[in-house]
Structure 1
Amino acid sequence: MAAVALDLITEFGQPVIILDVTPGEYDPETSQNGPDTVVERTAQGILLDFTGYEFQTNSLIQFGDKKLKIAAQGLGSAPGLLSKVAAQGRTWSIIPPVKEINPAGTPILYELQVRS
């Protein structure tokens, strides 16, 4: 099932870059945070519009938000809430929750609500 999901997303989707951001540590001597660490991961995803029904039933969706479905195979772990996603020439923030599709205990797909 995971292979089929990845094949479909690869065929109809696009590469997306997940930017995992780890905030820098606080330095009490300077009273500032150190630089953030950013790790890039490439995944296959499909960027979709929300339907009218989804707008009616979910008050957290704003105009311009998108639904991003990412194949889990080869990703290692789910995108975090501090992560950003680069797709279609824009950088998107992740709006909680991150939905994990795992019918047999193995993640197949992550579904995200993203906002630029």
Structure 2
Amino acid sequence: MSFYEGLASTASKLLADKGAPVVLLRESGETFDPVNGRVTPGTTKQLKTSGVLTSFTKTTETELGGNIVAGDMLLVLSAEVEPLSTDKLLVNGEPWQIVRILPVNPAGTPISYKVQVRK
């Protein structure tokens, strides 16, 4: 196990122990039928992980490129599941929308994800 893999494991354990349950709702498989002009809905996967919802600091605002709106929060997610910008989130059962994702991946090893979220 490399140093960064060990760090990722420790981060995941800490987020699971001290963080909140997070569910990523990922839709897939939507298709368009050109014959009848209808969209057939796909399925929604529920990907479970852990995270910590917190306020922004000046450093995280700079890392995410600014554009922080009042009410936006920073969600630090475990690297167990890679979030996509199209995912919807449930943090402690409350719905959130992903605005921006910043992976923390030194040497190409995902440790966690900093996600700007909005209600």
Alignment of 1:90-101 (within 5 A): 90-96=94-100, 98-101=101-104
- Residues 58-86 of structure 1: per-residue CA shift (max 9 Å, x gap): 12x1111111111113x2xx211110110
Of 72, 75, 78, 1:71 maps to 78
2:3 corresponds to: none
TM-score (structure 2 length as normaliser): 0.80
Contact 1:69–1:111 (8 Å) recurs in 2:
yes
Contact 1:20–1:79 (8 Å) recurs in 2:
no
Paired residue total = 110
Deviation at 1:23, TM superposition (A): 5.8
Alignment of 1:14-25 (within 5 A): 14-22=20-28, 24-25=30-31
1:48 aligned to 2:30? no
- Residues 76-102 of structure 1: per-residue CA shift (max 9 Å, x gap): xx2111101101331111113x21111
**RMSD (Å) for aligned C-alpha atoms:** 2.0
Aligned AA (1:85): L
Alignment of 1:98-113 (within 5 A): 98-113=101-116
Where structure 1 has 5 or more consecutive residues not aligned to the other structure, the ranges are none
TM-score (structure 1 length as normaliser): 0.82
Where structure 2 has 5 or more consecutive residues not aligned to the other structure, the ranges are 1-6
1:85 corresponds to: 89
- Aligned sequence identity (%): 34
3-state SS of 1:81 partner = coil
1:31 corresponds to: 37
3-state SS of 1:104 partner = helix
User: Distance in 2 between the 1:45 and 1:4 partners?
Assistant: 13
Deviation at 1:30, TM superposition (A): 2.2
Contact 2:30–2:43 (8 Å) recurs in 1:
yes
